[in-house]
Amino acid sequence: MAPTMRDVQLTAAGDGAFEEVRLLDAYDEEDSDKLNGNLRRIQVRVSGMTCAACSNSVEQALMGVNGVFRASVALLQNKADVVFDPNLVKDEEIKIAIEDAGFKAEVLEEPSASCTSQHGTVLGQFTIGGMTCAACVNSVEGILRKLPGVRKAVVALATSLGEVEYDPSIISKDDIVNAVEDAGFEASFVQSSEQDKIVLGVVGVSAEMDTQLLEGILSKLHGVKQFYFDRISRELEVVFDPEVLGSRSLVDGIEGGSGGKFKLLVKNPYTRIASGDLEESSSMFRLFTASLSLSVPLFLMRVVCPHIPLLYALLLWQCGPFLVGDWLKWALVTIVQFVIGKRFYVAAGRALRNGSTNMDVLVAVGTTACYVYSVYALLYGAISGFWSPTYFETSAMLITFVLLGKYLETLAKGKTSDAIKKLVELTPATATLLVKDKGGRIIGQREIDASLIQPGDILKVLPGAKVPVDGVVVWGSSHANESIVTGESVPVLKEVNSVVIGGTINLHGSLHIQATKVGSNTVLSQIISLVETAQMSKAPIQKFADYIASIFVPTVVTLSLFTFLGWYVAGLLGGYPEEWLPENGNYFVFALMFAISVVVIACPCALGLATPTAVMVATGVGASNGVLIKGGDALERAQKIKYVIFDKTGTLTQGKATVTTVKVFTEMNRGELLTLVASAEASSEHPLAKAILEYSRHFHFFDEPCDTKESQSNSEQAKFSGWLHDVSNFSALPGKGVQCFIEGKWILVGNRKLITENGITIPSNAESFVVEMEESARTGILVARDNTIVGAIGIADPLKREAAVVVEGLLKMGVKPVMVTGDNWRTARAVAKEVGIHDVRAEVLPAGKAEVIRSFQKGGNVVAMVGDGINDSPALAAADIGMAIGAGTDIAIEAAEYVLMRSNLEDVITAIDLSRRTFSRIRWNYVFAMAYNVIAIPVAAGVFFPLTKLKLPPWVAGACMAMSSVSVVCSSLLLKRYKKPRLTAILEITVE
């Protein structure tokens, strides 16, 4: 089953919801199947542990108990997570086992039931800093998943974000942050699915008295659980009870309690993340410029100064045991190595402490080797008088190039999240709230932060302003530009009872709207969440890259060691002439430079960026083109699509069925027939039923049908409900029609199958009418009353104008289109003929659509399903790739991996083409990531030196390593230039 989203309305036409899509849903629950039997899981608080040896002792003691299935001990949280068979061991025996090992134990009263169920868990998002490659990601994920109370955890290198699903009754946000920081990384909480925390910027706090006043106000506010005010950033974090205190009431309470002294601004979590990215980029730039400013003098002393006699004489001046030049080199490089380059030692130590190796380990090893050898050469020369060459410049230049690569990488990665930033900018910062008295009259208005809008608020939207939240028009008339959501530039009429979407633009008249969905429930917020989650997701191809990266560093270190030993031993044994050695050099230095170059060039950093950066850009580009993609897994499967299966009604057709013909076969007049049929169909949600109801209402009241779905609202139906008959025992029969009793008479309205199954004979004139409808691609509906056919209705559902061209385009792309419908064979064949589909499956019940898809999946074929209705959701879930029409039902959208927001079939081609382009780019990324290594490692190791005398100095190796990451990210950024394929190009049509 595909991941789902909660409470999402993708177009103004849909007022429903679909569940939230989460990155974590793609991962299996570790012990869910095992715990479905007789096993239990409990949490035990363990006291007295002081180190890792203690936790190991507790684990061993627990695993030694008969009946314990699994035991995991967290030293930092002083807790043990135990899975056991209650038939073999009791809670008390587990406690005794821990105490016998020399520790205190207490079984927690509430077991972590949430670890085996989604109920009671919270999804939290955290920023994680200090990660440099896939090995770091694996370390952080491993740390998080071992924490008690954490159900699932996924970390993304490209976004520096982590999503953690946890039980707040067992572990808190702060515990998670502390665990990550204890492992040597940086962490901070961003937001969670709990609506109990708000971050506010406070203006007006300038002295200690102001801080005390703020704390006093918060302490007195009922519903405030805890708060923290950062005096440096002027940010206030408040945790409150949402059932007692609303966010706007909280802000009003603080501002009112201060007498207007304080002004509060709600901090958008996405804005905070963007500012964090900017801060990281700025910090990396400062480090790079500092390293460069110290490395340039080293380069000048080596290359330029020997050609300037006065300066060179000064550098050769003896100062103590060393020359002035040597002192300067040592001083400058020491600052670069241990002050500017401190981050590499910290990160390397962190990685080694967590049992992994990463890029920082390689950089630390390579630069340290250069620095230590150079210091040793100076000391050895001072003592023995034999001066060997030093390589201080190599160490400094290496760190400089690595920092340059990291800086360019942060810039490039920042650009990949442009889609989210642009979506965030669409939401207005403030809104005009209309204040009403108890009688409902407007008595005033005030500006409020858009983040503080509550459901039910009445808001004023001026011409040219953005709609602040999702809502319903209660006064006024205007047109709205909804292109940000639907992709259609044509303005949409907005009248009373019309649905409006937050972030869209009110073009003309003023509107008063009533807020219905706010905060994370708005369409725009859910789209942002969906895009962000998709950007964090991992495609299956990335798992292989992560595995390679995890073993790459140890392999490179081993290769470097063999390189050193090979050249050094060969030199001692006379394997190559001394002329190859540098001036005043020796075999040790000669071999060491080859080894250092191998260590530096073979960095797996680019390998870890190859897939996620491309997925990030592709999901953002897709959102900009009206195609929402739910993750890298969907992208990878979509590029292999062999068959595309289309639903008919609402997918290939416009879904706006209209009655074209009404035939009466008895003495009943047309008005009576339409009243009878409309009464029977009034309780049905089928598009054909709504078409009949609309036509009947127009027939009786000369009411012009409206194109907007608002006209079909409950209020409109209630307005004309007086002319409908009372209905009893109503039931809808999928794929057939409806049946009910009206005034004691049995009524059937449906297709030929419904009539014949109930033993009613269809007269020849009625049969001829239905056949005529079906052969002209229309649907014939029969009406029976007490076993007698009394009339028939012909309904047409026009094809979408792009349907035939899209089908032909898919054939040109090597994808085979198929149509599956519950309609009869004649109508199905007529529609298929019009659009050019040759493979048709008709009279298929909703449950049967999934079976049709499975039949096409045989042999490993990748099958996509395009649908919009509730009955399509099983098929969308069964397909390898589900593509939901954006204006379709919410259940269909839940089950799909792609959402075509514009409800345009051309986006099916866009989705497939973008997937293919993305994975073509990913393959190129792996070429860029590995080419430097494959080509440069042999050169760095000196394989070609005996023939070409070609060497790769360590500082050049550092430059190549940095460029590999930059090449990968820039390659991914080329996807931002993606243009939707023109159908004329696909069809090879020459337009005059």
* 266-280 pLDDT tens trace: 766 555 555 555 677
Q: Average of pLDDT values for 833-856?
A: 84
Q: Average of pLDDT values for 426-452?
A: 79
Q: Compute the distance between CA of residue 425 and CA of residue 451 in angstroms, rounded to an integer.
A: 13
Say how many domains are in the chain.
Answer: 7
Question: In the chain, count of helices (H) and strands (E)?
Answer: 34, 36
Percent of the chain with pLDDT over 90: 9
**Residue 359: pLDDT band by 50, 70, 90 thresholds?**
low
Q: What is the structure's pLDDT at 304? A: 81
Helical segments of 88-172, H only: 91-100, 134-145
Residue 40, pLDDT > 70, answer yes
Residues 904 and 805 in one domain: yes
Residue type, 49: M
Q: Compute the distance between CA of residue 725 and CA of residue 758 in angstroms, rounded to an integer.
A: 23
Q: Average of pLDDT values for 31-39?
A: 49
Q: Compute the distance between CA of residue 338 and CA of residue 396 in angstroms, rounded to an integer.
A: 11
Domain boundary among 190, 212, 229: 190
Q: Is residue 588 a part of any domain in this protein?
A: no
Q: Average of pLDDT values for 115-137?
A: 66
Residues 663 and 642 in one domain: no
Q: Average of pLDDT values for 331-353?
A: 84
Q: Compute the distance between CA of residue 760 and CA of residue 100 in angstroms, rounded to an integer.
A: 81
Q: Compute the distance between CA of residue 280 and CA of residue 132 in angstroms, rounded to an integer.
A: 13
Q: Helix, strand, or coil here: 762?
A: coil
Q: Average of pLDDT values for 40-58?
A: 71
Q: Is residue 525 a part of any domain in this protein?
A: yes
Q: Compute the distance between CA of residue 500 and CA of residue 489 in angstroms, rounded to an integer.
A: 15
- For 712-747, give the DSSP string: GSHHHHHHTGGGSPPEEEEEEETTTEEEEEETTEEE
Q: What is the structure's pLDDT at 110? A: 45
Residue 628, pLDDT > 70, answer yes
- pLDDT tens, position by position, 448-470: 888 788 888 899 999 888 898 88
Look at the chain and count its residues. 992
Helical segments of 836-953, H only: 846-857, 873-878, 890-895, 906-940, 945-948
Contact between 987 and 626 under an 8 Å Cβ cutoff? The reply is no
Residues 875 and 792 in one domain: no
Q: Compute the distance between CA of residue 570 and CA of residue 179 in angstroms, rounded to an integer.
A: 49
Residues 671 and 777 in one domain: yes
Q: What is the structure's pLDDT at 919? A: 87
Percent of the chain with pLDDT over 70: 77
- For 949-960, give the DSSP string: -----HHHHHHH
Q: What is the structure's pLDDT at 401? A: 76
Contact between 193 and 651 under an 8 Å Cβ cutoff? The reply is no
CATH number of the domain encompassing residue 44: 3.30.70.100
Residues 866 and 792 in one domain: no
Residues 823 and 862 in one domain: yes
Q: Which domain holds residue 252?
A: 197-267
- pLDDT tens, position by position, 159-185: 677 888 888 778 888 888 888 887 778
Q: Average of pLDDT values for 833-858?
A: 84
Q: Which of 546, 536, 541 has its CA nearest to residue 630?
A: 536
Residues 832 and 880 in one domain: yes
b/e per residue 787-817 (b: at least 16 CB within 10 A) = eebbbbbbbbbebbebbbbbbbbbbeeebbb
- Other CB atoms closer than 10 Å to residue 579's CB: what's the count? 5
Residue type, 500: V
Q: Is residue 466 a part of any domain in this protein?
A: yes
Residues 634 and 672 in one domain: no
Higher pLDDT, 103 or 269: 103
Nearest-10 crossing angle of helices 91-100, 52-63: 130
Instruction: Beginning with the edge strand found earlier in the chain, give each strand of the sheet holding 492-494 in spatial order.
Output: 492-494, 478-481, 505-506
Residues 681 and 751 in one domain: yes
Q: Which of 493, 487, 484 has its CA nearest to residue 511?
A: 493
Q: What is the structure's pLDDT at 4? A: 34
Residues 287 and 411 in one domain: yes
Residue 439, pLDDT > 80, answer no
Q: What is the pTM of this model?
A: 0.59
Contact between 7 and 526 under an 8 Å Cβ cutoff? The reply is yes
Residue 515, pLDDT > 50, answer yes
Residue 818, pLDDT > 90, answer yes
Q: Compute the distance between CA of residue 923 and CA of residue 938 in angstroms, rounded to an integer.
A: 23
Q: What are phi and psi of 572, to 5 degrees?
A: -65, -30
Q: Compute the distance between CA of residue 429 and CA of residue 468 in angstroms, rounded to an integer.
A: 8
Q: What is the mean pLDDT of the chain?
A: 77
Residue 484, pLDDT > 80, answer no
- pLDDT tens, position by position, 684-722: 877 788 888 888 888 877 544 444 334 344 444 444 456
Nearest-10 crossing angle of helices 418-425, 523-536: 170
Q: What is the structure's pLDDT at 398? A: 75
Q: What is the structure's pLDDT at 116? A: 32
Q: What is the structure's pLDDT at 118? A: 39
Q: Average of pLDDT values for 405-433?
A: 67
Q: Is residue 585 a part of any domain in this protein?
A: no
- Two tokens, residue 737: 């029609």
CATH number of the domain encompassing residue 870: 3.40.50.1000
Domain boundary among 82, 108, 134: 108
Residue type, 413: K
Higher pLDDT, 406 or 725: 725
The sign of the dihedral angle between the CA atoms of 403, 408, 411, 413 is negative
- Other CB atoms closer than 10 Å to residue 662's CB: what's the count? 20
Domain boundary among 897, 914, 931: 914
Q: Is residue 938 a part of any domain in this protein?
A: no
Q: Is residue 151 a part of any domain in this protein?
A: yes
Residues 825 and 878 in one domain: yes
- Other CB atoms closer than 10 Å to residue 66's CB: what's the count? 9
Residue 742, pLDDT > 70, answer yes
CATH number of the domain encompassing residue 497: 2.70.150.10
Contact between 360 and 348 under an 8 Å Cβ cutoff? The reply is yes
**Residue 16: pLDDT band by 50, 70, 90 thresholds?**
very low
Sole residue written with tokens 């039949």:
855
Contact between 772 and 762 under an 8 Å Cβ cutoff? The reply is no
Q: Are strands 641-647 and 862-867 parallel, antiparallel or unpaired?
A: parallel
Q: Compute the distance between CA of residue 322 and CA of residue 618 in angstroms, rounded to an integer.
A: 57
Q: Is residue 430 a part of any domain in this protein?
A: yes
Q: Helix, strand, or coil here: 267?
A: coil
**Residue 111: pLDDT band by 50, 70, 90 thresholds?**
very low
- Catalytic, out of 647, 797, 823, 868: 647
Residues 335 and 403 in one domain: yes
Instruction: Decide if 167 is catalytic.
Output: no
> How many angstroms from the chain centroid is the CA of residue 576?
56
CB under 8 Å to 445, separation ≥6 — which residues?
432, 433, 434, 435, 460
The sign of the dihedral angle between the CA atoms of 234, 235, 239, 245 is positive
Q: Compute the distance between CA of residue 610 and CA of residue 968 in angstroms, rounded to an integer.
A: 6
- Two tokens, residue 927: 């070429």
Q: Is residue 382 a part of any domain in this protein?
A: yes
b/e per residue 232-252 (b: at least 16 CB within 10 A) = eeebbebebeeeebbbbbbbe
